[in-house]
A and B are shown apart, each in its own frame.
Chain A
C-alpha cells in the first residue's frame, strides 16, 4: 500500500529505487481469453504457477477485459514495483511499447510478438512447425483421407497454425482433403465451445475424421464433438490429450509455460536478457504431445514419420512456410 501511494504522487523513478530492498516481485498480465482458457493463457498460468510452487514467491496478476486496460495494467504493475512483467499475447504489444519506455528499469517479457526495446524480451514461437507435425499425424491417422481445422478468428496468427497444419498433412498425402472454418468475428469466437462443436461436426459430416482446433476455449467444443462422434481431434497450446483420452489424437504444444517460467526464473537469477527468442522445434518451444492418453492412437510408423519430419525441419530440409511472412499459404 505504501508503495502505491508513493507511486501515486511521485514519478516513476521512485518506485524503481524503492524496489531494491524489497523481495523479488514478478507479475503477469493475462489477455482477454482469461487465465483459465485451457489453452494459451492457461499455459502461461501453468508456467508461473510452477515458478510459484518451486520458489514460494507470489506473483501479481491481472486479466484484461478491454483494449485500453492492457496499458493500464502494465503500467500499474510497473509502477507498483514489479521486477519482471510478462505481457501475454500479441495484442499487448502496442501498450507495452508505451509502458516499457516509461519504465526503462522494469523488465518485460512479451509472448507471441516482437517489441524492440532495450528492456523487453520478446518470445515468439514457430507455431507453423509444430502444426506441421500434427498435420503429419492427422493425415496418417485419417482413414477418410480428409482432415479439418477449426480456428478462432480469421486473423494471421490462426492462419499460421492452419497453414502449417495443412502443409504437414499434404506432405504425407498430397491428395488429402482439407476443411477450414473460423468460428467468428468478435472476441466471443475464442470462447464459444458450442459453435466449435458445430463446426467440427459439420467437418465430420463432410468426410473429415481428424480435426485440429486452434481457437482457445472454443476448441474444447471441437474436442467434445470428436469424442461424441468417435472421431479424432487435435488440441493446441497446452497438452489437452487428457480431456478426452482415446479421441484426442495429440496436442500441438506451444511451450508458453516454459517461456513464462523461464522469464520469471531468469529474472530472479539475473540471467534475464532482452531481445528476441524464437522458439521452434529445435528449441523444443513447439512440439507434439505423447502420453498415456493417446499412446494407443499413435502407431510406431506414425512416430517414425513425425520424428523424421521433425529432424528434416530442424535441418532445414523441409521448409515450412510461415503464413505471416506474406499473408498467404502456398497450398
Chain B
C-alpha cells in the first residue's frame, strides 16, 4: 500500500475553482485532466500505448472504443487501481501521482463502475456515507450526511429516497446512488464506465439529463462507452481508442457515427444488417398459456402464447425486467413453468421433468443473456467452455474419458470460424474480451446445429465489430431454415434483425408490432405497456404535434 507522504495538489472538496491551480494563467483554465504519454503493460500485452488525453473542465468527454481497446485500463490508471508503467497524470494542471483510489478521491476524481459497488441491504444514505463515517456514532454521521445528500439531489436533479433500501431500487436509481456517492466524496471529475449497459432507454435518457446538469454546474464528466448513440447524444468531445492507442480526438459536433465507427474498428463498418425475405417453414416452437413463477413466488410470465417457425427470427422487445429473462429460462429448461405448454416440434415438454439437457436433446440451443454468469465458466479454459452443455455428447467422449484431442480440435475450428481472438483454446475464458467470450458462446450454440435457437441479449457488452459478426451469423442461421427467438433490450437490434416483433410488459405479451408500423416511438410506448392501437394513435399524435 502507498504511504500518505505525498503532497496533494488537487482540490480536496467539492468547492469550485477557488483554490485550484492558482498559478494557472487567468482566463485560460488548465484542463481538468491531462494524461501525458501513459504506458501500461500486462505481461506481454501493451494495454495502453503512449496515451495522451486532455479533458477540458466543465465538459462531457466521451472515450469510445471496442472492448479490449484499453479504455477501462486507462480509467483504472486514472482512478488508481493500476499504476502506469510510465507517463504523467495532471489534475487541474498540477502533476498528481495517483497510486490508489484514495489518491484519486483526494484529487477530486470519482468513479461510477459498470458493476455497482453498493451494499445492497443498506439504505441509500448508509451507502453514500460508507467509508466516510467521521464520527464515532453512526447517527451523527447520518444526520450530517442527510442534509448534504438532499442538497446534492436538489442541485443535480438526482432523485433518490435517502431511506430506501438499495436492493429495492431499480437499476437506474442504484446508479444515481453511485453518482451521489462520488459527489458526496467531493468529486469534481466524474468517470462513468459503460453506464448504460444495464439501463433501459428511458433510464439512459434520465442519466443523460443528470450528466448534462452536472456539466452545467461546472463538473467534468468522462464517459466510457462503446455505444455511438450515447456519444452523439451527450458528449462535447470524444476520443477514440483502438488496440491500446488513442487514434483520434474529435469535437462531437464535427464528427459522425460512421466516422467514429470506422475509427474504432479500423475499417468501414456496416451498421445495418442486410437480410432478405423470410422463408417460413413449419412451427418449431409453440408456447401456449405459459406462466412462470420465480423462486420468491412472484408471477413473472403471465399467460404468454406465441409461435416461432423455421426460417424466421422472432424478436421480443421490452424493458429489462418485464419477464423476458424468465420466459427465456423456462424455454431453455432452466426453470420449470408453473403452467401452460411449451411444444417443440409438437412435443409438449412443460410439466415433465425437463432440464437444459433435455432441451438440448430436442435440438434447442440457447445463448443466455448473461454469458459470464451462465454461458461460460470464466475460470475454465476456452476449450472447456466450448463444450458446456455438450460435454456428454459422444463426439466429445471416448469411453470413460473426455476426448481431449477432439475437444481441442473442435475448439480450434470454432475459434477460427468465429474469429475468436486470441485463438488460444487453453486461455481461461475470463481473459477474453466480452465480444470474444460471446463469440465462443454463440459459436458453441450455433455449431450444435439446433432447430431452435434462443438468444438473449446477444450483443450486450460486445464491441461493434463483434456485433456485426454475430448479427450476420444469426441471419445466416435463419436463412438456413432455423427458428430463432431473440430477446433483447436494444431496440436497434430487435428492429434490424427480427422478422416479427413481440413486445413484453409486466409478464404479458402486449402485442405484435405489425410489419409496416415498426417505428421506435410505437414500440417504445408498447414497451411501457400501452396496447398497440393506443400506442399507434399516440405516436401519430406526437408526430403531428412536432
- Whether A and B touch directly in their complex, counting CB atoms under 8 A apart, is answered as no
